[in-house]
Structure 1
């Protein structure tokens, strides 16, 4: 009996050590972030730190040299293709780094903490805005999973609307939203997420994992931050999820609805943005 317990303990210790050898620890994540920052470029228009595929491959080699082969799996071509790209084919490093942290389970421990741990402050250069974004995205993953009724990793439109409805009170830039506009806002925001969703088994669904990696969720999370400076309506409208943008979209479609019945017929839809919609698009639409 004693020998059996000893063997079992040894096996558990061996497996734990093996798991440690293949998983990234806090120091590894720190080193990876430094590699990402030192080998990327800053987008002049947005200030975001980005990398193209050539940078991605170079960083993979640098990380492998400094951290070891256990980080190589994160730098596969398929992983690069998961992230949204700008017109130059570059991806932002923050969503990629969040993906790595989610994969190794490093983000979960500080969801319960009001104050981010020292490691995160060090990694992000004491940038509370980035830390807040990280926490928000991780919390989003938890909240979306809770609303996923059939636990298939996808959200249906009504589930996404419920997520946004719950999120609204926590978005500082939406505090002035009229209560009567809330349902409309949830619908508009949901359609933005579903604009590129592929129907699954004839049911429109959006992949939670893809939404977490998308720039759309990042734009939505930007509404957490209160602006200390006065911002013009034009600047606010640049974020699709801002109250200004949503109200503009709503007003535009209400203006097209000549009979005020809440729907657009083909003739009304033709007037959208000075008749710029293709006829074939309108004909395929529903009345």
Structure 2
């Protein structure tokens, strides 16, 4: 009302800029934390949707072998871009957009017929898939949601990972804490050269 009294045009023309309501710093901080948490969850879900399971990888391998391109050679199976795109059309859209794009095809050397090695491509897919899976796993341990892990968070990941490693199946339980600390310190030595106490 006071503004309308000073500026009569405001009665007919709406104000374009409104004052922000005052929010206490604790409310803003809790709201920001909630938004960060939701954003991290969405990113994690989106990354997890790109990870292929074992059956999808086997299906991809079968499709690649089925669609191999002429001239055929049993020792070195190859695929051209047309057949490559046909395989992409037959698999899940998320996997197709992640692994079956033109840039992925051109990462590999072409032979005189414009084909790439099926085996090399499949090995690349498996490696990239393993990296994606590990990133999703690691993001679950990121309590602050800033994309970094503290030493304690990394120790928790290593602890959970120890039971899944076949190479460590015969290791005595008494050595697990020492192995965990050694592994985490080695990660930090290589990934945290500035000694920030966090790895990204």
With normalisation by structure 1, the TM-score equals: 0.31
Structure number with higher relative contact order (C-alpha < 8 Å, ≥ 6 residues apart): 2
